[in-house]
Amino acid sequence: MMRLKRHLSLILLAAFALVSLGGADLFAAGGGHGAAGDSNFPLPDSHYVELEAEKAKELDRELTLIETLKLRAAEDPFNVVATAIFFLAICHTFVAGSLMKLAHKFEHDHEHKLEKGVISHNGVEGKRPVSFKATLFHFLGEVEAVFGLWLIPLIIAIVAMKGSWGVATGYIDTRNFVEPMVVVVLMAIASSRPIVQAAERNVTLIAGLGGRSPGAYWFSILTIAPLLGSFITEPAAMTIAAILLGQQFYKHNPSSTHKYATLGLLFVNISVGGTLTHFAAPPVLMVAGTWGWDMPFMFFNYGWKAIVGILISNVIYFAIFRKSFSDLKKKVAESPKIEKTESNAPTWIVTVHAIFLAWTIIVLHHPALFIGGFLFFLAFTMATDHHQYQISLKGPMLVGFFLAGLVTHGGLQGWWISPVLSSLTELPLFIGSTVLTAFNDNAAITYLASQVPAFSEPEAAALRYAVVAGAVTGGGLTVIANAPNPAGQSLLNKYFDGGIAPIKLMAGALLPTVILALCFMIL
């Protein structure tokens, strides 16, 4: 099975490399329109607005939302097809765990048949026969591969309905894959030994106030790491938080309910924790330039409310699971003590790693610069190999592949998301943005909102606040709701039997989502 996973990883890494060739020059989740390919695919929102104005004039009244969606669907029937494929991809993520269980079953049956001699070996000498069925279901059960997998029917549909391969490739060329690429680099650097050790030392100092128990580490990580995301970016904060939670909490095997509650809380906290600044959270970055938001604006309108919401959520979950934390503390106390013999990386190496991390954040708009810096980083880790863990690119690349697929699908959903957002008043807009985020990347939601002319009017300040607040609030409900979530899932998936179940994740994230919603809308 390990060899099987390695083969699948190589396939996915190659696929991600091919997809990433279409990267553009701006950091955006949904992309814009470029010069390549058919500039009328997908149809720009301005085209629909003109069409709707003509129809409204003809009817001598404003169109309802349903009429608007029907008109847009009739103007380009491919809209419905693209959304149907996207919906099926989302459904696929909910059954991925069951498919993975089938893969393990087929692999077990295959191994049993090999031991009994039922399967004859007629392949390459020295190679163990592989179960094609197990391999297929393992691939279908990889959550990180889902959206990339559903690109196949999407591309086929584009070619079939638009009659040209050039339209399909032209659309791919207009997508912006900078976010997936920078997430790969940030994950790889943030998960390096010197960075993780430095983060662990700082968390340990604060956890010392609680006796360095599993509960103290839990509270410290879920408070510090999300807020750190406002400065080192959310993907890097997610990586560090997931690694530390694995070491200090998940390895003690708490109850399944406690595991999912912690995962949901982590995803929600990371999503809102990036709102202290205007440059670290993708959904904020999408609108900050367009709407003129700076760091003081973000902190006084969003940041302090996020801090309050995170603390309240952490305290409530800590109280709910106090018995579980007590049991974990006893389990740790009764387990054999293992003296730590591993030395810390030298300060100068930690400093160099921090510089590489800072460089990536500073130049994240420029792929050539942060990729070049990453190559230097890899060279540096080779030169200091005796102070490093092996840099694993499998997880980061799979996460990048996941996000690249989501960007490609998400770019075809604006036809219905834009009119839905523009039809809502403040409170319904907040709720709608939160719900829509669960089924699309929150950066795509805010990007589309920034393209709605009405949102840029001075009197629309409340609407702008509501759509961004809703987008970050709903960022923990699903793995696709926020760009860093796949990174957390990739790192923590091994602690969940049969993989992370989407419904249980949503259940774990529901309470902190409600708490943060109240903080953003009431405070």
**Residue 447: which of 293, 285, 303 has the closest Cα?**
285
Please report where in the chains the tokens 């219905």 appear, as a residue: 416
pLDDT band at 126 (very low <50, low <70, confident <90, very high): low
In whole angstroms, give the CA distance from residue 215 to residue 208.
Answer: 11
pLDDT of 9 above 80 = no
Distance (Å, whole) CA 240 – CA 263 = 14
Confidence at residue 116, expressed as pLDDT on a 0 to 100 scale: 78
| Residue 151 pLDDT class (50, 70, 90 cuts) | very high
Q: Report the alpha-carbon distance of residue 198 to residue 391 in Å, rounded.
A: 17
Closest CA to 519 of 353, 272, 338, 293: 272
Return all residues near 8 (Cβ < 8 A) that are at least 6 apart.
Answer: 135, 138, 139, 142
Residue 145 is classified by DSSP as G
pLDDT tens per residue across span 262-304: 999 999 999 999 999 987 888 888 888 889 899 999 999 999 9
Residues 6+ away with beta carbon under 8 Å from 142? 8, 12, 96, 100, 398
**What is the C-alpha separation between 375 and 425, in angstroms, rounded?**
48
For residue range 488-505, list pLDDT tens digits in order: 998 899 999 878 888 999
> Does the structure show a pLDDT above 60 at 332?
yes
Contact 195, 240 (CB under 8 A): yes
Q: What length does the chain have?
A: 523
Structure tokens at 193: 């030994």
Q: What is the pLDDT of residues 170-215, one digit of tens each?
A: 999 988 888 888 888 888 888 888 988 888 888 888 877 777 888 9
From CA 478, how far away is CA 260, in angstroms rounded? 12
DSSP secondary structure string, 73-89?
Answer: HHH-THHHHHHHHHHHH
Residues of the chain with pLDDT > 70, as a percent, come to 90
CA distance 367 to 468: 26
pTM score of the predicted model: 0.78
Cα–Cα nearest to 441, from 399, 476, 406: 406
Q: How confident is the model at residue 339 (pLDDT cuts 50, 70, 90)?
A: low
Which of 13-22, 62-71, 192-201, 476-485 shows the lowest mean pLDDT across its residues? 13-22
How high is the pLDDT of residue 443? Answer: 83
What is the spatial distance between Cα 250 and Cα 218, in angstroms, rounded to a whole number? 10
User: What pLDDT is attached to residue 16?
Assistant: 43
